[in-house]
Amino acid sequence: MNRLQQITVLGATGSVGLSTLDVIARHPNLYQVFALTGFTRLSELLALCIRYLPRFAVVPEVELARGMQQHLQAAGLATQVLVGEEGLCQVSVDTEVDTVVAVIVGAAGLRPTLAAVNAGKKILLANKEALVMSGALFMQAVRKSGAVLLPLDSEHNAIFQCMPNNFASGLSQVGVRRILLTASGGPFWPNPSVDLEHVSPDQACAHPNWSMGRKISVDSASMMNKGLELIEACWLFDAKSDQIEVVIHPQSVIHSLVDYVDGSMLAQLGNPDMRTPIANALAWPERIDSGVAPLDLLAIARLDFEMPDEQRFPCLCLARQAAEIGNSAPVILNAANEVAVTAFLDGRIRFPQIASIIEDVLNLEPVVVVDDLGAVFEADARARTLAAQWLNRNVR
């Protein structure tokens, strides 16, 4: 009998982390949890440890680790608690680990995910910010180590399913004309009369089709999520940004499409539930049950498509520009967006100011070559400082 696949979940306490554990729990004959990590939701992490009995748990600070270790011992568990980024990297490269599920949100996920890549692991990637920040380095490392990189983002997983096996030889080589990235449009799309100056964080996070963490929910509302996904798709599928079109599809049933030169267009459809791409990537190239209900086409009845409105949602346009400029431009875009989204969620700025901050920081910060991780994090830090200065100037 094959041994159980050992899985590390980086960001287990989040939305995609919990969906991943739900799929894993359906297949105890295939998968075993090796490590789980959390950041602020540590009582949830403790409950997950009690349920999944991982070898390791990772928390951000030494004091928190002591408390967690005591709770685990009191519950009779042998789980060892590790600390901080070093702990995250350790559970990503351990020789016993087969698969690393990279679902930390934001730049914080980059180092451990890249460590897993360098160690040649199978990586299930939802942490799009990691790829946006360091796409060239990341993909170089994948090729060098032989790591298997599988996309969890529903659009990219859909594209992956619609691509031929040999797509790495180049899109034109395999007859692909363009990639169509679908976007729900977020909570404000259906109603053009919504005054974006006065929307609240809770309104921005009330996504019509998906239940997600707050940062990506705001990104979806601003369309920056689609912008980050465009950059993510460029790296994953070795595409130029002008080979990728964004189309609004409010039902979120078609998760993306690939258009071939012979006139065929392949699409992947499914209910909007992250457990489908997770199950697809976990079991690839096989298929396993994800727990997701089958799609009821008659109940859906119709599928709509519209052009994005880049005037009302300028973030998509900013991301496309950053993709075209390349080098550190996507790092700057991502860092400014992370600072701006946090400020919006904290009630410090209005929704349209997210795009203003990003645009101003992109204009102010010179674009440089980023040929190592140090250069990536330096560009990231400079952009965050500029965004913080913007806030100090414009927000009381």
Q: Tell me which residues touch Mg ion (CB under 5 A).
A: 153-155
Answer yes or no whether residue 274 interacts with ligand NDP by CB under 6 A.
Answer: yes
Is residue 360 part of an annotated ligand binding site? no
Stretch that binds ligand NDP, among 205-213, 299-307, 312-320, 334-342 (CB under 6 A): 205-213
Q: Is 321 helix (H, G, I), strand (E, B) or coil?
A: helix
Nearest approach in angstroms of CB 343 to ligand NDP is 16
Q: Report the alpha-carbon distance of residue 383 to residue 380 in Å, rounded.
A: 5
Stretch that binds ligand NDP, among 13-21, 114-122, 305-313, 356-364 (CB under 6 A): 13-21
Stretch that binds ligand NDP, among 127-135, 169-177, 196-204, 241-249 (CB under 6 A): 127-135
Is residue 225 part of an annotated ligand binding site? yes
Q: Is 211 helix (H, G, I), strand (E, B) or coil?
A: coil
Order of all β-strands in the sheet with 80-83:
80-83, 56-59, 31-37, 5-10, 99-102, 122-125, 148-151
For Mg ion, which is the closer residue by CB, 58 or 258?
Answer: 258
Q: What is the DSSP letter of 306?
A: B
For ligand NDP, which is the closer residue by CB, 6 or 92?
Answer: 92
Q: Which does residue 41 bind out of ligand NDP, Mg ion, none, counting CB within 5 to 8 angstroms by kind?
A: ligand NDP
Stretch that binds ligand NDP, among 103-111, 260-268, 312-320, 388-396 (CB under 6 A): 103-111
**Enclosing H/E stretch for 297:** helix 297-300
Among 7, 16, 171, 322, binds ligand NDP (CB under 6 A): 16
| Nearest one of 83, 88, 120, 80 to 104, comparing CA atoms | 88
Q: Report the alpha-carbon distance of residue 109 to residue 36 in Å, rounded.
A: 14
Quote the strand ranges of 162-243, DSSP E. Answer: 176-183
Task: Say if strands 56-59 and 31-37 run parallel, antiparallel, or are unpaired.
Answer: parallel
Q: Report the alpha-carbon distance of residue 388 to residue 329 in Å, rounded.
A: 18
Task: Say if strands 244-248 and 31-37 run parallel, antiparallel, or are unpaired.
Answer: unpaired
Nearest position to ligand NDP, beta carbon: 14
Among 153, 360, 365, 380, binds ligand NDP (CB under 6 A): 153
Stretch that binds ligand NDP, among 74-82, 97-105, 131-139, 351-359 (CB under 6 A): 97-105
Answer yes or no whether residue 216 interacts with ligand NDP by CB under 6 A.
Answer: yes
Q: Report the alpha-carbon distance of residue 80 to residue 53 in Å, rounded.
A: 10
- Tell me the one-letter amino acid at 269: L
- Tell me the one-letter amino acid at 131: L
Answer yes or no whether residue 110 interacts with ligand NDP by CB under 6 A.
Answer: no
Nearest approach in angstroms of CB 254 to ligand NDP is 16
* Structure token pair of residue 94: 């351990």
Q: Which residues define the annotated binding site for Mn(2+)?
A: 153, 155, 229
Q: Which residues define the annotated binding site?
A: 13-16, 127-129, 153-155, 184, 207, 213, 220, 225-226, 229
Q: Catalog residues that contact ligand NDP under the rule CB under 6 A.
A: 11-17, 38-41, 103-105, 108, 126-129, 153, 210, 212-213, 215-216, 274
